[in-house]
């Protein structure tokens, strides 16, 4: 009898082990790391939603290589130190195969050494300042030549020659300002102001006062997060309308407009690679599916779409490799493509950035964007603007980092 019991227990143990192994082999774990709280939640929460939607779609279609994707959603809390800790935990403890996430360049630059140390893979879905490539990061948002550079040239040709630059005080706006200034100088224009506020700060009055004093033709806005709410509120309260001095925003899209007073924004400009108003059947289907999942009032925008296509580009590389193993996936990233809501996108093998179409738009009162200019075809990404050498750009980055005490943002008043 005892031998029979032992035999049954052994069979049960073997069955459990077999079932566990089958479950593990039937799942690919991925991390989704975005700010669900704090100043950047206004932008990042929806990108996380779009990433999860793509994962759900792929699972409903049968998964990848016969496996289902299991997403582990983590809150970065608008704090780059927390992003770094969670990225390492997802890699070392959760054993995810890839991570989709980050918004601010401060968060991306803080996690970059972690991904390189563990030879892991991050898909980063937001336009950024460039000056970076990494074998462990795929950049599915715009490089400078796919957003800020053509937008600055367009503003010079169509709005005016005197520019005021404002941004949050961290690495992306600081570098973007230098790129904008280089372009304006080469065109023969003038920069009449270059000002910064702490990320998440509402202390915008000193900047507004300087705009009033300098009277620029256009404001180039690189403020990120919910600081934009106070900036536009005080800008209009000071009597600065977009008919007098239009604003060109690089980190405000349709989703952020839901948290802003649209009457203050309608008529201002923005530049992205994707807008919800793109009139194609592919995009209409994407928007419809997003609204079905997240509510009829939900909107899509560029980082949302970039988060969505990141999953599909990763899927294409995994299927080409025949495995989700990082080394093999990395070998198969080059030239992976996807017919995205914005149009054809594909990964540049040299830089691991994506070829993308450039679009310039004008905010509408209904929270959507009229597309007023387009490059009409995908543009090759150039991470390092040619206005300076790569060594000069790297020196500028090093000076920022050192000046902020080994951080990628100004923490002096926090």
**Residue 341 and residue 396 in one domain:** no
Provide the pLDDT for residue 412. Answer: 80
Q: Which residue is listed with tokens 């599909």?
A: 312
Provide the domain limits for residue 248: 145-278+362-403
CA distance linking residue 113 with residue 255, whole number of Å: 30
Residue 19 CB: number of other CB atoms within 10 A? Answer: 10
- Residue 3 in domain: no
Domain count, the chain: 2
**Residue 238 and residue 342 in one domain:** no
Provide the pLDDT for residue 25. Answer: 67
- Residue 171 in domain: yes
Q: For residue 342, give every residue at least 6 positions away whose Cβ sits within 8 Å of its Cβ, in sequence order, or none.
A: 273, 274, 278, 283, 302, 305, 309, 356, 357
**Residue 176 and residue 219 in one domain:** yes
Q: Which residues are paired to 249 by β-bridges?
A: 221, 270
* Half-sphere CA count of 351, side-chain side, radius 13 A: 18
Q: How far is CA 200 from CA 124, 135, 237, 413, in A?
A: 21, 31, 20, 12
- Residue 72 in domain: yes
Provide the pLDDT for residue 413. Answer: 62
Q: Which residue is listed with tokens 């995908």?
A: 378
**Residue 311 and residue 338 in one domain:** yes
Which CATH number belongs to the domain containing residue 384 in this structure? 3.40.50.2300
Q: Which residues are paired to 27 by β-bridges?
A: 68
- Residue 414 in domain: no
**Residue 114 and residue 197 in one domain:** no
- Residue 214 in domain: yes
Q: Which of 296, 288, 220, 304 is nearest to 254 (CA)?
A: 304
- The helix, strand and coil proportions of the chain, stated in percent and rounded to the nearest 5, come to 45, 20, 35
**Residue 378 and residue 347 in one domain:** no
**Residue 269 and residue 398 in one domain:** yes
- Residue 4 in domain: no
CA distance linking residue 123 with residue 137, whole number of Å: 6
**Residue 215 and residue 192 in one domain:** yes
**Residue 232 and residue 85 in one domain:** no
Torsion angle of the four alpha carbons 154, 247, 385, 407, in this order, in degrees rounded to the nearest 10? -170
Choose one of 324, 339, 356: the last residue of a domain.
356
Q: Which of 380, 397, 400, 378 is nearest to 389 (CA)?
A: 397
**Residue 348 and residue 392 in one domain:** no
Residue 332 CB: number of other CB atoms within 10 A? Answer: 17
**Residue 40 and residue 169 in one domain:** no
Choose one of 317, 332, 356: the last residue of a domain.
356
Q: For residue 399, give every residue at least 6 positions away whose Cβ sits within 8 Å of its Cβ, in sequence order, or none.
A: none
Q: How far is CA 134 from CA 123, 165, 358, in A?
A: 11, 29, 23
- Residue 172 in domain: yes
Q: Which of 142, 210, 211, 151 is nearest to 183 (CA)?
A: 151
What is the phi/psi pair of residue 240, to 5°? -95, 105
Q: Which of 195, 247, 182, 250 is nearest to 218 (CA)?
A: 247
CA distance linking residue 229 with residue 200, whole number of Å: 10
Torsion angle of the four alpha carbons 345, 349, 351, 352, in this order, in degrees rounded to the nearest 10? 50
CA distance linking residue 410 with residue 119, whole number of Å: 29
- Residue 192 in domain: yes
**Residue 220 and residue 94 in one domain:** no
Low-confidence ranges of the chain (pLDDT < 50): 1-2, 4-23, 414
Question: Which pTM was predicted?
Answer: 0.91
């Amino acid at each position: 009898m005892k031998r029979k019991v032992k035999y049954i227990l052994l069979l049960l143990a073997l069955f459990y082990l077999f079932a566990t192994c089958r479950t593990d082999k039937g799942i690919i774990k991925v991390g989704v790391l975005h700010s669900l709280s704090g100043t950047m939640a206004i932008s990042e929460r929806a990108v996380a939603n779009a990433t999860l939607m793509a994962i759900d779609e792929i699972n409903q279609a049968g998964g990848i290589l016969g496996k289902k994707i299991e997403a582990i959603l983590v809150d970065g809390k608008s704090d780059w130190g927390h992003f770094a800790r969670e990225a390492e935990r997802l890699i070392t403890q959760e054993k995810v195969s890839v991570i989709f996430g980050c918004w601010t360049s401060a968060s991306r630059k803080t996690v970059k050494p972690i991904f390189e140390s563990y030879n892991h893979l991050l898909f980063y879905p937001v336009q950024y300042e460039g000056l970076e490539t990494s074998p462990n990061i795929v950049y599915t948002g715009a490089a400078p030549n796919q957003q800020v550079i053509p937008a600055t040239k367009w503003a010079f040709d169509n709005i005016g020659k005197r520019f005021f630059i404002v941004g949050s005080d961290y690495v992306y706006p600081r570098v973007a300002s230098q790129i904008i200034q280089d372009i304006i100088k080469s065109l023969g224009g003038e920069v009449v102001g270059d000002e910064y506020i702490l990320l998440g700060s509402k202390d915008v009055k000193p900047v507004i006062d300087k705009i009033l004093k300098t009277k620029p033709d256009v404001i180039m806005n690189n403020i990120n997060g919910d600081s934009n709410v106070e900036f536009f509120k005080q800008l209009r309260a000071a009597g600065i309308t977009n008919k007098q001095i239009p604003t060109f925003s690089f980190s405000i899209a349709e989703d952020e407009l839901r948290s802003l007073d649209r009457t203050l924004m309608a008529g201002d400009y923005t530049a992205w690679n994707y807008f919800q108003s793109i009139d194609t059947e592919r995009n209409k289907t994407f928007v419809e599916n997003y609204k079905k999942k997240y509510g009829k009032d939900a909107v899509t925008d560029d980082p949302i779409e970039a988060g969505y296509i990141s999953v599909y580009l990763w899927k294409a590389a995994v299927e080409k490799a025949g495995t989700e193993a990082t080394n093999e996936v990395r070998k198969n990233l080059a030239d992976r493509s996807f017919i995205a809501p914005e149009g054809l996108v594909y990964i540049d093998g040299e830089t691991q950035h994506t070829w993308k179409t450039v679009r310039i738009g004008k905010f509408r009162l209904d929270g959507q964007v009229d597309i007023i200019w387009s490059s009409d075809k995908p543009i090759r990404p150039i991470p390092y603007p040619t206005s300076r050498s790569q060594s000069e750009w790297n020196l500028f980055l090093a000076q920022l980092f050192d000046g902020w005490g080994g951080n990628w943002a100004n923490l002096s008043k926090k």
